């Protein structure tokens, strides 16, 4: 599986390369410090995953992702960032995953293994019968919020039910969406039911 790294920090390139070297079936085919060169590379080369930082000079990772999607490129994008607050925006550009730094070997491995599993499912034609595993288990509170979300409750109503602030509910939703690999409430409900997290 071919991957590229896009990050303006040299240290992050070294960390990513070291971690990816420990993962089977992964080949780093490009390493970029800005999105301009990365975009040109992706126009001429087949790549399976792009690990992208969000906060970069000249063009953010999110703007880069929007540009890619507008150009019709459906590469799997995995954001690796120190910013939690952009998670929902990341899923709006169909991010495959959103990993908050510091990056761990286990978290990285889980994401790649999930992609490898999905690829094998697609290749053997078995459709959605093999459901990819969750990146992390949902907490009891996250499952409770999922149940209310599936009932059509708004953030405000969920916050009122559990005596939380709307901001706290939004943070829970960011975590839920990331763990389920979805970008909206409808998808979250569907995937949660497939995983038997809710009825």
Judgement on whether residues 151 and 182 belong to the same structural domain of the protein: yes
Number of domains in the chain: 2
Is the CB of residue 142 less than 8 Å from the CB of residue 176?
Answer: yes
> Residues 143-157: what's their mean pLDDT?
89
Q: Which of 74, 90, 124 is the last residue of a domain?
A: 124
> Residues 105-110: what's their mean pLDDT?
86
The answer on pLDDT for 21 being more than 50 is yes
> Residues 139-144: what's their mean pLDDT?
92
Asked if the structure places residue 23 within a domain, the reply is yes
Judgement on whether residues 47 and 119 belong to the same structural domain of the protein: yes
- Give the model's pLDDT for residue 187: 77
CA distances from 62 to 70, 80, 83 (A): 12, 12, 12
Asked if the structure places residue 199 within a domain, the reply is no
Judgement on whether residues 166 and 107 belong to the same structural domain of the protein: no
The answer on pLDDT for 186 being more than 80 is no
> What CATH number is attached to the domain comprising 64?
3.40.50.2300
Judgement on whether residues 106 and 160 belong to the same structural domain of the protein: no
The answer on pLDDT for 126 being more than 50 is no
Residue 31 to residue 4: CA distance in whole angstroms: 6
Judgement on whether residues 159 and 86 belong to the same structural domain of the protein: no
Q: Using pLDDT thresholds of 50, 70 and 90, give the confidence band for residue 128.
A: very low
Of 32, 29, 86, nearest to 58 (Cα)? Answer: 32
The answer on pLDDT for 88 being more than 60 is yes
- Give the model's pLDDT for residue 87: 81
Asked if the structure places residue 105 within a domain, the reply is yes
Domain enclosing residue 180, as ranges: 140-194
Could you tell me how many residues make up the chain? 199
Is the CB of residue 47 less than 8 Å from the CB of residue 54?
Answer: no
Q: State pTM to two decimals.
A: 0.63
- Give the model's pLDDT for residue 165: 93
Residue 147 to residue 158: CA distance in whole angstroms: 10
Chain segment 23-64, per-residue pLDDT in tens: 888 999 999 999 999 999 999 999 999 999 998 888 998 999
Asked if the structure places residue 96 within a domain, the reply is yes
Q: Which residues contact 84 (CB under 8 A, 6 or more apart)?
A: 100, 171, 174
């Amino acid at each position: 599986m071919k991957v590229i790294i896009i990050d303006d920090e040299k240290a992050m390139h070294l960390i990513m390369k070291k971690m990816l070297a420990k993962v089977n079936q992964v080949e780093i085919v490009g390493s970029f410090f800005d999105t301009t060169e990365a975009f040109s590379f992706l126009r001429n080369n087949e790549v399976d995953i792009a690990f992208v930082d969000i906060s970069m000079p000249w063009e953010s990772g999110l703007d880069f992702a929007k540009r890619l999607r507008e150009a019709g490129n459906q590469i799997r994008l995995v954001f690796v960032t120190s910013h939690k607050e952009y998670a929902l925006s990341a899923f709006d550009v169909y991010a495959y995953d959103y990993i908050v730094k510091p990056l761990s070997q286990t978290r990285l491995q889980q994401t790649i293994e999930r992609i490898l599993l999905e690829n094998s499912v697609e290749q053997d034609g078995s459709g959605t019968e093999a459901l990819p595993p969750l990146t992390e288990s949902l907490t009891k509170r996250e499952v409770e919020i999922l149940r209310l979300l599936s009932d059509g409750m708004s953030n405000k109503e969920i916050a009122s039910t559990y005596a939380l602030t709307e901001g706290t509910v939004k943070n829970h939703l960011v975590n839920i969406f990331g763990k389920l690999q979805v970008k909206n409430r409808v998808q979250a409900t569907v995937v949660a039911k497939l995983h038997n997290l809710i009825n």
